[in-house]
Amino acid sequence: MTPQEIKQASKGWADNFDSSVPNFAKIKQQTAEISYRKGAEMVNSRQPYTAEYMASFARFVKKRWTPIDTGGWVENDKKFYLPHNVKTDEQVIKLWEESKNG
């Protein structure tokens, strides 16, 4: 979520916190907004990719890479491979990101 989307969603979510005392209502709303925003920011930091990006990554891996039993990935067209042909998860993600930009 973008910061603007988080701000808008937190306001909408916080509207559900009503109270008969105006000061308490404002405090509850502010607390709800802060909680929602912090939660959304935490999710963004842990999962920086959108669902569309993840689908794109899955297609990229399926077309081009094969997991090997010792851990890592090797390109599909390699029948025999050497240790330098094996890529880590991070290296495959980096190659995918470069393929999007290029």
- Token pair 């399926």 in the structure block, residue: 62
How confident is the model at residue 92, as a pLDDT? Answer: 87
Using a 10 angstrom Cβ sphere, with 0-12 exposed, 13-18 middle and 19 or more buried, the burial of residue 45 is exposed
pTM: 0.47
As a whole number of angstroms, the distance between CA 34 and CA 39 comes to: 8
pLDDT digits (tens, 9 = 90+) for 22-69: 676 777 777 777 777 777 777 777 676 777 888 888 888 888 888 887
Q: Delimit the domains of the chain by residue range.
A: 3-46, 51-101
As a whole number of angstroms, the distance between CA 56 and CA 62 comes to: 10
